[in-house]
Every structure is written in C-alpha cells, then in structure tokens.
Structure 1
Amino acid sequence: MSEAPVAPQALAFLGLGVMGGPMAGHLRKAGHAVTVYNRTASKAQAWVAEHGGQAAPTPREAAQGAAIVFACVGNDDDLRSVVLGEDGAFAGMAPGSVFVDHTTASAEVARELAQAARARGLWFVDAPVSGGQAGAVNGVLTVMCGGEASAFEAMRPVAMAYSRAVTLLGPSGAGQLAKMVNQICIASLVQGLAEGIAFGQKAGLDMKAVLDVIGKGAAQSWQMDNRGKTMVDDQFEFGFAVDWMRKDLGLVLEEARRNGATLPATAMVDQFYADVQAMGGRRWDTSSLIKRLR
C-alpha cells in the first residue's frame, strides 16, 4: 500500500497470472494508466474488463510510451521471450525508461538482461517478491531488488501500490539472490514444522493447542501462524504450489553449484518435494511436506 500519493504514470504490466493480475490491478487502483500483455490474450481482455486500462497484442506494443514496464512471468525463458526480440518489451521502450522484473528467475538472467538494457539506454531492476498470492491480492508483498539506485528510486514509490516493503539489496542479480535466501530459509522451516506436527500427532497431542502455545515462543514463524493448523487438518488446496517451490529450489541449487555454497538441508527438502509431486501434489501448498510423514 502506497506511503504517499504518487503522480499517475503510464505503465505496462506483462504477465497476468495469480501474482501479476492482482499486482497490475493495484497499479490501476493507484490511478496509473496501465497497458497489459498476457500470452493468453483472453486473460488480458478479462483483466481490462475488470480493471480498465488497455491490452496490447505484444510486449513491444504494451511497453510503448510506458515510463516503467513491470513483468511477472514463469521462468528465465518466459522472461527472455517477453523482453528480447522484435516483439519484446525492450524494442518498444523509450531510452531512460525502467523495466522491473518480478519473476523469480536466475541471477544470471537478471545480469544478462540488465546488460542488454544498458546497451539500449534502458534500466533493468530484478525485483522478485515474497508473500504469495494472498500478498499480491492484499497488496502487501515484500520486494527484493537488484539494480542501479536511480532506477530503483524511480520504481519504488510506484511498486508500493502492492507492497509493504521494496528494498534495494545490491547490483543486478542481488534481488534474485535474496529471493533464493528466502526460499532456502522457508524450505527447511516448513520441513521442521511438518516433522514437529507429525511427531505431536503420533504422540497423541492436541496439535492445534500445542501450536497456540509454542507459537507464543521461540518456535513462532509465519509458516506456523498461517499453515500450522491447516497442516493438522490435512488441507493443502491453496497457497504456493509445490511445482513453483521446486522451480525456485532448482535455481537455488544451480546457483549454489556456481558459488560453492553447501546446502545439504535444502537439497534434501527439494527431494522431499519431488516425493510430494509423485504423490499427486504438484499444485498443493508447500506445507504439504507433512504428507510424506503420514
């Protein structure tokens, strides 16, 4: 939610999935002129019918005249497809404009696209988010950014329309690396929570009561507060999908191979998520790790 009124700007938003659609909606509510692009054109038309603004048939056309172009797509290849080439956003952007990538992607592609942007007189900010679909809908995402300070200062007040914190953490790629740290921490935390709940249930404890008690102490976490009781109830048809987490952990493990970091627990939990996928849980929430233990 915005800290202070921001003058309306011409913006573009590429990718209207479960994250991008609500984020673009918050930009419209903040008074900006938003042109959207989505690979499935009908989704862009539906967004316009709900929020106003306009849809464009290509990323290039969406980006024309935009001071800032935002994107939230699936992976590195999806990102390159909307940025580069004759119909890509960079081809339509005016010199001095800013491209903000909210995709959880690799640090490598962030550096690659930042270099390509500079060659065109553009700015590129890698800005992955944390907070999930609920955070996007409620406008309370945490945004981790890498890039030049001037480009960050241009995008930050606008991105506050759907965020509670937008922070510059270093040069190009730093935002993606920070998101990797986020996912490393979450992976082992959810596994620990799953083991604790499974243990308590085997021991015959009222685990909802136990969670209420230990949630007031050192074991407290967002995951415990928001997922503990649904884990007890075996409910997983919501939230951040296992498929998405495996994609993210794949990026983490690839980067760790590159930089020499040792991530034994993360590698193990990644394989546990593979087990959940094999159980049919590709779209279950990440808290479904507990299914392996039952």
Structure 2
Amino acid sequence: MTSSINPRDYEPTPARRVAFLGLGVMGYPMAGHLARAGHAVAVYNRTASKKIAWCAEFTPTDGQKHTHTPRETVQDADIVFCCVGNDDDLRSVMLGPEGAFAGMKPGAIFVDHTTASAAVARELYALAAERGLRFVDAPVSGGQSGAQNGQLTVMCGGDQDAFDAMRPVALSFGRAVTRVGDSGAGQLAKMVNQICIAGLVQGLSEAVAFGQQAGLDMPLVLEVIGKGAAQSWQLDNRGKTMAEGRFDFGFAVDWMRKDLGLVLDEARRNGARVPVTALVDQFYADVQSAGGGRWDTSSLITRLAPDKK
C-alpha cells in the first residue's frame, strides 16, 4: 500500500514503546509518523479494518502491532497517545475494566489529542494521578494535511515533567509542541484557536462573496491582498477554493460545530462574551441544514450566494 503520509525529517530521539488509540483521519497519520520515527507502536481502533490497514502500511516490526482492547494495547507503553471524537469517546477508551487506565504501567503518560472539554481533561488528570499515571491534554491544530505532513501545532496542559517526557516523541508529528499551562489549559487554548478561525472564515466568506458580486477577478484580488495586512492561513489555503465553490475536503462543518459547542459551554461557565462566535455557530448550523455537514468549514460562503437573499 502506498502511504498517504508525506516524508519528513524526524528529530533524533531514543526509540520508545508507545500506543495510539484512535485511527481516524488525524490519528492514522499521526501514529504513522511515530512508527516512521522509529518508535514501537501498538494501535487500537474500534473499527478493526483500520487497525489491520495501518499495520499493513507501516511495516510490521517487533514493536508494531494491533490489539483488541485499549487495555491490551497500552500494557507495554511508556506513552499512550489518543485521538478520538469527543468527551464520551475519550472516557470510553480510558475508563472501565478494558480501558487504557486499567492497563497502563505506573508512571506511564497518557497524551490526549482529542478536542474535548477542559472539564474532562481535569477529570481525567485527577483520575490518572490517583492511579500513579500522568495525563497531558494536547489538542492539535493543522487539520488532516497537518497530520499527514507531520506539521501539527500541539497545545498542551499538564505537569511540566510529563510534558518534558512526551514532547520529543510528539515532535514526530508536530512542528510545535508547547505547554501552555496546567491541566485543561491545552483544551482552552484550542478553544481560543477555534474562536479565531470561526471569525476569520466568516470574514473571508463575506470578502470573497462581496468581490464576486462586484465583478472582481477574485483569484487576482486574493493574491494581491494576501501580500498585505489581510494575509492569513485561511486566505492562503481557502480563498481560492471558496471562490471556486469547492468544499469536498478539509475540516468538516460537523467537527467545527462540535468544537464551537465546547467554546460556548466554556464561555457560559467562565462568563466570557463571544457574540461573533455564537453567530457563526448558527451560520454553520445553516450549512448543516443545507446538507453540508461534511463540507470544509470554508463552505460558510454558500450562505451568501445571491439566491440566498
């Protein structure tokens, strides 16, 4: 099988025994980078075909293996990485008699890359400490392409010693792995990230739709303004495809609504005011209602078509 993961140079770091739970669009390539960096990787996924495909792709060695339960997967691991869907998915792979916490050896580190709530991060951090384990919440930014290219930004919350131990290994798939505070801080930083993106994508949608309505050559205009103060990752990577009406790729609207739901819940808890984020969340609900739940988040522009007036 030909790998979907682009080659890259890896920082030299001693090989470790690690586990990876969750082989979705993010976890599959992230686990692959760990294997290619020389680490012995055991993998778990609820859908067995993903586990089998991953092991076939990443050259079976004495260390690479797939297993039947999280508990079995993590037994020999120094570090357990995880990337699943939400708080409930996270608890399901970590807790209970077949969960990861039941199988991890004392002192091992659980690194959670799921975009989840700060509350569940703190809950699992406390449960890990009771069991003599360590826990780092470490959501990522960079999307599927960042995972495939090993260029993710990783925002970490937790104890300094646990972070220092996991960081060299996580650099297998991250361009930046940074501790931003204590337990839960990584998830809060990811919420800040999503607030920024929501506002940027709505602004870019309005700009492109405005320019099209005015009869401008939008690819040319985007190239010009991309050299000035309007430049952003979203403009560089999504402006042209917005103008072309292409949305069958990237970070899905369904996922963004899940993330913005976390933001709004946390804002209600801490008293922050996020009126623009709440509005954009409702705009994404419109896109979902139009059948665009799996479209890229740049599909916000579809709400602004002239026939939507």
TM-score range, shorter chain: over 0.9
Q: What does the per-residue CA deviation read over 1:74-121, in whole Å, with 9 as the maximum and x for residues that have no partner? A: 000000000011000011001111000000000000000000000000
Unaligned runs of 5+ in 2: 1-7
CA distance in 2, matches of 1:61, 1:88: 9
Q: 1:6 aligns to what?
A: 13
Match of 1:44 among 39, 45, 51: 51
Contact conserved, 1:2 with 1:160, CA < 8 A, in 2? no
Match of 1:60 among 53, 56, 71: 71
CA distance in 1, matches of 2:252, 2:11: 34
Residue 77 of structure 2 aligns to a residue whose secondary structure is coil
- 1:71-150 superposed matches below 5 A: 71-150=82-161
The Cα of 1:284 is off from its aligned counterpart by 0.2
The Cα of 1:41 is off from its aligned counterpart by 1.2
Task: Tell me the TM-score normalised to structure 2 length.
Answer: 0.94
- 1:193-212 superposed matches below 5 A: 193-212=204-223
Residue 172 of structure 2 aligns to a residue whose secondary structure is helix
Contact conserved, 2:10 with 2:37, CA < 8 A, in 1? no
Letter in 1 for 2:177: V
Unaligned runs of 5+ in 1: none
CA distance in 2, matches of 1:270, 1:29: 38
Q: 2:5 aligns to what?
A: none
Q: 2:3 aligns to what?
A: none
Q: 2:4 aligns to what?
A: none
Letter in 2 for 1:127: A
Contact conserved, 2:27 with 2:83, CA < 8 A, in 1? yes
1:176 and 2:182 matched: no
1:285 and 2:296 matched: yes
Contact conserved, 1:110 with 1:172, CA < 8 A, in 2? yes
Contact conserved, 1:2 with 1:157, CA < 8 A, in 2? no
Residue 125 of structure 1 aligns to a residue whose secondary structure is strand
Contact conserved, 2:81 with 2:112, CA < 8 A, in 1? yes
Task: Tell me the TM-score normalised to structure 1 length.
Answer: 0.99
Contact conserved, 1:37 with 1:44, CA < 8 A, in 2? yes
Residue 100 of structure 1 aligns to a residue whose secondary structure is strand
Which ranges of 4 or more aligned residues in structure 1 deviate by more than 2 Å? 1-4
Q: 2:23 aligns to what?
A: 16
Q: 2:271 aligns to what?
A: 260
Match of 1:32 among 14, 24, 39: 39
CA distance in 1, matches of 2:96, 2:210: 53
Q: 2:234 aligns to what?
A: 223
Contact conserved, 2:253 with 2:296, CA < 8 A, in 1? yes
CA distance in 1, matches of 2:9, 2:166: 12
Residue 289 of structure 1 aligns to a residue whose secondary structure is helix
Q: 1:244 aligns to what?
A: 255
CA distance in 2, matches of 1:248, 1:210: 31
Q: What does the per-residue CA deviation read over 1:138-172, in whole Å, with 9 as the maximum and x for residues that have no partner? A: 00000000000000000000000001000000000
The Cα of 1:23 is off from its aligned counterpart by 0.1
CA distance in 1, matches of 2:9, 2:99: 29
The Cα of 1:67 is off from its aligned counterpart by 0.1
Q: What does the per-residue CA deviation read over 1:186-218, in whole Å, with 9 as the maximum and x for residues that have no partner? A: 001000000000001000000111001100000
> What RMSD over aligned residues (CA atoms) do the two structures have, in Å?
0.8
